[in-house]
Amino acid sequence: MKTLKMKQFDEKEEEITDALISLGMSRNAATTLAYMQNTNSATAIELERSARLRQPEVSITMKQLKERDWITEREEKKPGKGRPHKIYSLKVGFNDIIAQLENQQKKTVDEAQAKIERLKELGKD
């Protein structure tokens, strides 16, 4: 039987996952990004096993991350018959993803602060 050597989640990746979830990201997307941030590329099978996701969850998550323009996907033909492997890699650096999340959070805070200020104005009457 063939065994695949795959990186398992460590404490740092668990902490990254928790932080991303606290910023509003889905658990599956957070887990995937935590795994991908230290990897040049990963197959769907590697993500399933290492990030503990099911195949449909990997597909849905990768679609979401591609919509954000964070992930690239390519196919690689397996030797013999069968479907090609999908191989994913980060399209932008992990620090760029963090910067995008930071800007998103700042925008949310600014919008909430503007609403609070408006409520204060309305409450003066």
pTM, entire model: 0.79
Domain assignment present for 108: no
Whether the Cβ atoms of residue 30 and residue 17 lie closer than 8 Å to each other: yes
Edge-first strand order for the sheet with 42-43 is 42-43, 85-90, 71-76
Domain assignment present for 34: yes
Whether the Cβ atoms of residue 71 and residue 91 lie closer than 8 Å to each other: yes
The whole-angstrom separation of Cα 113 and Cα 95 is 27
Q: How many domains does the chain have?
A: 1
Which phi and psi (to 5°) does residue 72 adopt? -110, 155
Domain assignment present for 124: no
Question: Which residues form the domain of 20?
Answer: 11-92
Tens-digit pLDDT profile for residues 12-62: 889 999 999 999 999 999 999 999 998 889 999 999 998 889 999 999 999
Q: Which residues pair with 71 in a beta bridge?
A: 90
Domain assignment present for 5: no
